[in-house]
């Protein structure tokens, strides 16, 4: 019934579709596009912001540990970054993001300074394999470093909300005490759940880095944080469930760099010419038209890496941006959806 009336509505409201009209009444009224309104904003530390969001009905939810593409519009341009929610999965009307400011991070700066309650964010589909098995193992070790706390906190909150009664060790590492995230919340949880053991460590203020003594008895472990932390856990618990953040690639200025074509699995080594020419040299046949940057026929999704626009000199270095192949050259390694 719903799909039939939706098809009829799309025909009547075609070719734009029902969301393009609903959003004019209220941006979060869309039925196909997931969006969320910012309901509260607070700062746990000097370098972070915690946003409480209320997703609309189109939001499909997430599994604890997954990340979500979040789109925010800054000066007319939609920027999309992925964040792992920190709240318990299950309630689709709630989403909590804690974002740590990155140097030169345009989006994190905007989320920290520019955004206001009432603003609307765009949500993509939750992704990622950093999730606990179903049902969760009886004994758990949850380890995080820095801003990696959010997905493991989501795991903790989720299993506790589901009535988990096995022993859980929650370890969090940050450089200084001032960087500790969610300490009061964790203490409250520990007070309420005798099976939860919480430990916060400040590695630049005398606390030790991760060691066997911190982990205690071996158990099923999940860790999210910088690569050295993951490595340290893996030394002790080889089959640990782990996730790290991929640092953004640094944009160089030249046309050098390998170009990976992800759909075809091909690669073009270092060389000359536009990305269109290099794709063709690698045996691909991307669609093209004018070959001079005016017709936008060769527009292609760049999944990772940096490219420079030959007409404007502008560098695109964020993941998942559309670029024009015929007037772009790589600035470092690039992954293209071709």
Partner 1 sequence: METAMLTETQIEELGQELDALRNRVVADLGERDAKYIRNVIKTQRGLEIVGRALLEFGWLPPAWLGGTAALSLSKILDNMEIGHNVMHGQYDWMRDPALDSKRFEWDTACPGDQWRHSHNYMHHTHTNVLGKDRDIGYGILRMSEDQPWRRRDLGNPLYALLLALFFQWGVALHDLEIDRIESGEITWADKRDILRATWHKGRRQVLKDYALFPLLAGPGAPFVLSGNLTANLIRNVWAFMIIFCGHFPEGTHEFSEEEVENETRGAWYLRQMLGSANLTGGRLFHILSGNLSHQIEHHLFPDIPAHRYGEIATEVRQVCSRYGLPYNTGPLHRQFGSVVRKIVRLALPGGAGRPTEPATDRDPAAPEPAPELMAA
Task: Give me the residues that bind partner 1 (CB under 8 A), please.
Answer: 8, 11-12, 14-16, 20-21, 24, 73, 75-80, 289-290, 292-297, 299, 311-314, 321-322
Give me the least distance between CB of 78 and partner 1, in Å please: 4
Give me the least distance between CB of 299 and partner 1, in Å please: 6
Which residue, 17 or 137, has its beta carbon nearer to partner 1? 17
Main-chain dihedrals φ then ψ at residue 265, nearest 5 degrees: 75, 10
Cite the beta strand spans of the chain per DSSP E.
Answer: 35-42, 48-55, 68-74, 77-83, 95-100, 120-123, 140-145, 168-174, 196-202, 220-224, 241-243, 259-261, 266-268, 299-309, 315-316, 321-324, 328-336
Give me the least distance between CB of 79 and partner 1, in Å please: 8
Which residue, 210 or 327, has its beta carbon nearer to partner 1? 327
CB 330 within 8 A of CB 305: yes
Sheet strands side by side (includes 140-145): 196-202, 168-174, 140-145, 220-224, 241-243
Which residue, 7 or 178, has its beta carbon nearer to partner 1? 7
Which residue, 205 or 322, has its beta carbon nearer to partner 1? 322
Distances from the Cα of 180 to the Cαs of 42, 46, 160, in angstroms? 15, 10, 21
Which residue, 79 or 183, has its beta carbon nearer to partner 1? 79
Give me the least distance between CB of 277 and partner 1, in Å please: 17
Which residue, 121 or 210, has its beta carbon nearer to partner 1? 121
CB 257 within 8 A of CB 305: yes
Q: Are strands 140-145 and 220-224 parallel, antiparallel or unpaired?
A: parallel
Give me the least distance between CB of 263 and partner 1, in Å please: 16
Q: State whether residue 108 is helix, strand or coil.
A: helix
CB 181 within 8 A of CB 149: yes
Asked if residue 15 has a cis previous peptide bond (ω within 30° of 0), the answer is yes
Q: In the chain, how many H helices and how many E strands?
A: 8, 17
Give me the least distance between CB of 197 and partner 1, in Å please: 45
Give me the least distance between CB of 303 and partner 1, in Å please: 14
Which residue, 42 or 287, has its beta carbon nearer to partner 1? 287
């Amino acid at each position: 019934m719903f799909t039939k009336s939706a098809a009829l509505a799309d025909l009547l409201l075609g070719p734009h579709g029902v969301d393009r009209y609903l959003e004019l009444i209220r941006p979060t009224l869309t039925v196909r596009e997931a969006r969320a309104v910012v309901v509260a904003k607070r700062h746990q530390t000097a370098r972070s912001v915690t946003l409480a969001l209320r997703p609309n009905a189109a939001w499909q939810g997430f599994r604890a540990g997954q990340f979500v593409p979040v789109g925010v519009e800054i000066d007319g341009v939609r920027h999309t970054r992925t964040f792992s929610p920190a709240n318990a999965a299950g309630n689709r009307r709630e989403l909590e993001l804690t974002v740590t400011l990155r140097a030169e991070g345009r989006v994190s700066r905007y989320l920290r300074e520019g955004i206001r309650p009432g603003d609307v964010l765009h949500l993509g589909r939750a992704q990622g394999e950093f999730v606990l098995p179903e049902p969760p193992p009886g004994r758990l070790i949850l380890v995080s470093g820095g801003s990696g706390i959010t997905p493991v906190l989501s795991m903790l909150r989720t299993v506790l909300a589901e009535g988990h009664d096995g022993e859980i060790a929650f370890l969090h590492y940050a450089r200084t005490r001032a960087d500790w995230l969610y300490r009061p919340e964790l203490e409250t949880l520990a007070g309420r759940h005798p099976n939860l053991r919480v430990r916060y460590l400040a590695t630049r203020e005398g606390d030790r880095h991760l060691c066997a003594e911190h982990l205690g008895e071996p158990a099923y472990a999940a860790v999210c944080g910088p690569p050295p932390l993951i490595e340290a856990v893996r030394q002790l618990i080889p089959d640990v469930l782990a996730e790290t953040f991929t640092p953004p690639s640094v944009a160089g200025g030249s046309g050098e760099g390998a170009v990976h074509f992800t759909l075809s699995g091909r690669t073009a080594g270092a060389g000359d010419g536009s990305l269109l020419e290099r794709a063709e040299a690698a045996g691909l046949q991307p669609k093209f038209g004018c070959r001079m940057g005016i017709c936008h026929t060769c527009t292609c999704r760049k999944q990772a890496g940096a490219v420079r626009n030959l007409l404007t000199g502008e560098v695109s270095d964020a993941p998942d941006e559309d670029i024009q192949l015929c007037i772009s050259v790589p600035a470092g390694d690039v992954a293209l959806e071709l």
